[in-house]
Amino acid sequence: MGIFLDQTHKITTKNNEKIMILRRNYEKYIILLTVLIASLAFNFSLPYLFSPPGIIYRAIIYYVLIGFIGVDLALLALVFILDTLAIRYGRTWCNTICPLGTLISALSIINLVKPKVDEKKCIDCLICERICPMGIPLTNAKNWGMMACTKCLKCFEICPAEAIKINTI
């Protein structure tokens, strides 16, 4: 699903366009908290309900077992519409709306593998920050800033000064 969203962003954005990222998005934690409370109240895993992979898996299972997809197709369309409307913010669904993505990023406060900028080699071109689909400010990111890192390693591949190293704990 993430690959499909990335491909959608490649089609709709220009290569040299700087992607604006919502750096401090506390709303996603409010959404997560609301979904978790509703999950407890209704005794149902609501993060799974709004997860694009969960939507696709459910749609396939319903189609195979029953012969139609149902409301999951509407939910999947909603994900793509919201993500496309907010394209200038990068992977909007994963970054700002998806409760499952928020939960996963909150759990990744301890990164076992993370990119780190070698300040001695860095030429301050900020290409690594512009290419990052999650909008992480790599040149001054702390543990909290690295929570959203998906380990795509695009920053590592594109750095002209080879200043980005992949650190392991």
CA-wise closest residue to 19 among 96, 89, 95, 92: 89
- Domain residue spans in the chain? 1-107, 110-169
Q: What is the pLDDT of residues 93-105, one digit of tens each?
A: 666 777 777 777 7
pTM above the 0.85 mark?
A: no
Among 12-16, 42-46, 152-156, the range with the most confident prediction by mean pLDDT is 152-156
CB 62 within 8 A of CB 70: yes
CB 134 within 8 A of CB 91: yes
pLDDT of residue 148: 74
Query: 3-class DSSP state for residue 137?
Result: coil
CB 73 within 8 A of CB 49: no
Under CATH, which number does the domain 110-169 receive?
A: 3.30.70.20
CA-wise closest residue to 106 among 46, 56, 49, 32: 32
Lowest-pLDDT range of 34-38, 53-57, 162-166: 53-57
Residue 151 binned pLDDT confidence (cut-offs 50, 70, 90): confident
Lowest-pLDDT range of 7-11, 133-137, 151-155: 7-11
CB 137 within 8 A of CB 129: yes
Q: What is the pLDDT of residues 49-69, one digit of tens each?
A: 767 777 888 888 888 888 877
CB 158 within 8 A of CB 138: no
pLDDT of residue 13: 53
